[in-house]
Amino acid sequence: MTRRDALWSALASAAASTQSVSSFSHIEKWSVFEAQFPGPSSGTPYIDIEFGADFQFEHRKVSVDGFYDGDGVYRVRFMPDSEGEWLFTTRSNRPELHGKTGRFLCVPPAKGNHGPVAVRSTWHFGYADGTPYLPFGTTCYAWTHQGDSLEEQTLNTLQQSPFNKIRMCVFPKSYAFNRNEPPAYAFARTADSNDYTHVNPIFFQRLEKRVTQLMQAGIQADLILFHPYDRWGYSNMGAENDDRYLRYVVARLAAYRNVWWSMANEWDFVKTKTLSDWDRFFRIVQQSDPYGRLRSIHNGAVLYDHGKTWVTHASIQGDDFDKIPGWLDAYRKPVVIDECKYEGNIQQRWGNLSAREMTRRFWIGTLAGVYVGHGETYMNDQDVLWWSKGGVLHGESAPRIAFLRKLLESNAPGGLTPMSKPYYPAAMKTGEYYLSYFDYHQPVTNQFELPDGASFRADVIDPWNMKITPVDGLQQGKVQSKLPGKPYMAVQFRKA
């Protein structure tokens, strides 16, 4: 019997012999434990009532904030990261919410639960359980503000797609192709006026439902906390309301293992905030979130300084891929180009890349050592464009992105290291895997230099037609390879 099994067995016996079953539940590691307590419902609990809990595992204590969920209900959520018994005690400025205790048993994760994603090996990511994670993200800014029918269609599309991350806004969006009212507002609302002293729990419950569904589908929720495309007032609440909102969101959502924090979409386009506001937001999120979830901020025209300590990875809008080596050097963090324009056909210049160009950008960026994000903006009769509302995919790049994802997960699950020497985009898993992409070049032959002392199997890859054609025999050292003489081909060498 291992130490873990022994502990579990002991705790299970303890559970059977106690009466306080209400708070003694079995919680999967890296899943959400939640406890709720009755408390005041009058006045302005969102403003006045402090509530949280300290969770204890052996000698370690983790303090988390709770939140008011309406109707006199106060909740605290927690994601345990160690198997065994956890105890907790609430704390509050109201006696009826203070000093409540409880416990739960953290049991091993179920299949498919790999824990949260964090930075690994400087420029890459990985799950907490050691499972590789290569982000292949997409963007549906306002998909959780469309009503159940469309939202469920979006979820269904995502589950069939290659995307394992989605950029999405907490607040609704007002923009071209986005003129509809959301099903709920974040705060009590009368006519066109928000009451920032009363949060609307329904708004956040809707969001949490979708985040949970994404979690179950293995999709990271890159939650965008502020953005400029607003007609309701959420981009201009004032510093005090901004900060309280941030703490509230973190209290509600940090326990979901698939949450990433994005301070903003296009931070520099939010004219109501200064650079020091964004710095402060980062610090608030960093201090409030006991799990250290990934933190980033997405630019409009001007990059935020992703070198700042509270930024875990660069989230970049841009398509000047020549800057990638500079970014990797400067930040020494993962770089995610999560907006390199969109596949589509709309008039807006950022929304009409051909599918081939989007596919090409995934290849160019991937081989340069960054992670590229997808988005789609095709006109359609329903006026539902994926990039914002979700719905279904109309384009042709997604299957090619799936092909690329599978290629990397099979061959370089820890991420690729870009190779600076070759002329063509090329990257490797040192000593084991080498991948070159020829872009608009169409050589009939090319020389590769494989590392000494190993043999490799070579394949010619057609990224658009998603075909892998093995080359006969084993390759060693300086190899002169035959190529198809067509543009947009790739070659891989896998250690035999």
Query: Which residues make up the interface to a second copy (CB under 8 A)?
Result: 344-349, 352-354, 356-357, 379, 423-424, 438, 440-447, 485-487
CB of 365 to a second copy, least distance (A): 15
Among residues 121 and 348, whose Cβ is nearest to a second copy? 348
Among residues 63 and 348, whose Cβ is nearest to a second copy? 348
Among residues 119 and 479, whose Cβ is nearest to a second copy? 479
CB of 402 to a second copy, least distance (A): 21
* C-alpha to C-alpha distances, 188 to 205, 241, 247, nearest whole angstrom: 15, 13, 18
Half-sphere exposure of 195 (CA within 13 A, CB side): 12
Bridge-based pairing state of the strands 295-296 and 259-264: parallel
Among residues 4 and 441, whose Cβ is nearest to a second copy? 441
Question: Residue 311: what residue type?
Answer: V
Beta strands, E only, 134-205? 137-139, 165-169, 187-190, 193-199
Among residues 413 and 443, whose Cβ is nearest to a second copy? 443
Distance CA 390, CA 216 (A): 18
Among residues 66 and 344, whose Cβ is nearest to a second copy? 344
Strand order in the sheet with 132-133: 117-120, 124-127, 132-133
H or E element that contains 33: strand 33-38
Among residues 19 and 480, whose Cβ is nearest to a second copy? 480
Question: Residue 396: what residue type?
Answer: E
Mapping DSSP to helix (H, G, I), strand (E, B) and coil, where does residue 31 land?
coil
CB of 361 to a second copy, least distance (A): 10
Bridge-based pairing state of the strands 467-470 and 456-462: antiparallel
CB of 79 to a second copy, least distance (A): 43
Beta strands, E only, 99-156? 101-107, 117-120, 124-127, 132-133, 137-139
Among residues 55 and 493, whose Cβ is nearest to a second copy? 493
CB of 131 to a second copy, least distance (A): 36
CB of 298 to a second copy, least distance (A): 21
H or E element that contains 5: helix 3-17
Distance CA 137, CA 257 (A): 17
Distance CA 136, CA 220 (A): 10
Distance CA 435, CA 416 (A): 9
CB of 268 to a second copy, least distance (A): 19
* C-alpha to C-alpha distances, 109 to 27, 112, 234, 453, nearest whole angstrom: 9, 8, 37, 41
Distance CA 319, CA 340 (A): 5
Distance CA 266, CA 298 (A): 5
Mapping DSSP to helix (H, G, I), strand (E, B) and coil, where does residue 65 land?
strand
Among residues 158 and 398, whose Cβ is nearest to a second copy? 398
Among residues 104 and 438, whose Cβ is nearest to a second copy? 438
CB of 253 to a second copy, least distance (A): 37
Among residues 113 and 359, whose Cβ is nearest to a second copy? 359
Distance CA 59, CA 376 (A): 49
Among residues 21 and 301, whose Cβ is nearest to a second copy? 301
CB of 481 to a second copy, least distance (A): 10
- Residue 467, judged by CB atoms within 10 A of its CB (0-12, 13-18, 19+), counts as exposed
Query: With contact defined as beta carbons under 8 Å apart, do 367 and 412 qualify?
Result: no
CB of 380 to a second copy, least distance (A): 11
CB of 384 to a second copy, least distance (A): 16
CB of 358 to a second copy, least distance (A): 9
DSSP-derived secondary structure for 444-464: SEEEEEPPTT--EEEEEEETT
